[in-house]
A and B are shown apart, each in its own frame.
Chain A
Amino acid sequence: MEKADALRKVQEIFIDILDNDDIVLTYNSSANDVDEWDSLNHIQLVVAIEKAFKIRFTSQEIQRWKNVGEMLDCIIAKNA
């Protein structure tokens, strides 16, 4: 799977869960850049991504991401 495709898919999940059509994600996006993306919503995003990609992250993986790009790398590695 291409990283760009994954980004598009993740962005749709964000728009859906956070209920905001204006969200545009880049590889460098982090919680600081998206208003509604806070610690409360974060876990719901993770769960939705896990479902959409049919994967399961470990706690350590989730806690190490610093931005969307790192998360995508992790998704791609799991799907490969």
Chain B
Amino acid sequence: MKSNLIKAVKSLAIFILILFIADRAIGYFIEKLYFKQKTGDLYQTTYAIKQAKQKILIFGASRAMHQYVPDILEQKLHKSVYNLGRDGRNMIYHYTVFSQVLTYSHPDLIIIDVLPNEYSWKTRKEGEDGMISALLPYIDYPEVKADIGQIRRSDIILSGIFKTYAYNSNLAQIFGYNFGVLTASKNKKGYEPLYGTKLTVADLLAPGLINMPEMNEEARNYFKAFLNKAKENNIKVCVVVSPVLPVIGSKNCISDMRRITEGYGFKFYDFSKTGAFADNSLYYDQFHLNDKGATDFTGDLADTLLAK
């Protein structure tokens, strides 16, 4: 029994030592590569966390990233603009990124792109997972750490134990972008244009793809919290529903979002029913405008902003 225990402790110690060294070594190597990236999804977050000092910032998911052209806004509004949209993230992510931006900058205007079904998109765990996996590499920033800790303490602990944990499921991208296997489409101040169209007839017939089966209070609260934070910091916000193909279902939360936004004294623009964007050739797929559509839409948005 006794010799057994000594053997166990010794072996365990060796094992933990090897594991610790291997994890740190690989972890630091991946970290280096991670922050070396200059394109792609992950870089979009790095930029937002560290250096988004432009006067106008655009927040949102892929429908922000692919549909708002900063160059056009800059031309018309004569202010610096950056698009911080990131694919597949909802308000939980945007809220934390916004808090972090406020630690080093004070923008004049925030544009938030929301989905017609924002409250039921990537709800609960899905949204939280998206936020945590995107922001774990920035755990050293106090705002980020606090927000992740509020959602899931265990991930803070895990990433403390294992240096590699923060890069879970990101290795393919990190290596891909660093060694030229993957090439991101040209990133123009955060805007990633999509060219042409891959819409099919079946896509156009699909009914009600953007629908709202359930209402999620959590998403709604984060939306409010975002606006509240802007209000506290005297930053103007405009909330935008960008154009959608007629695949939108009957249930959505546009009117509720409008009420909330206007309650804070901010502007709310709904482009989802604008006839000018009913043309299929302006869309890349069911959910995103292509470069031509994005250019038209950003122009319209800039004019709207100027008019008011």
Direct touch of chains A and B (CB < 8 A): no
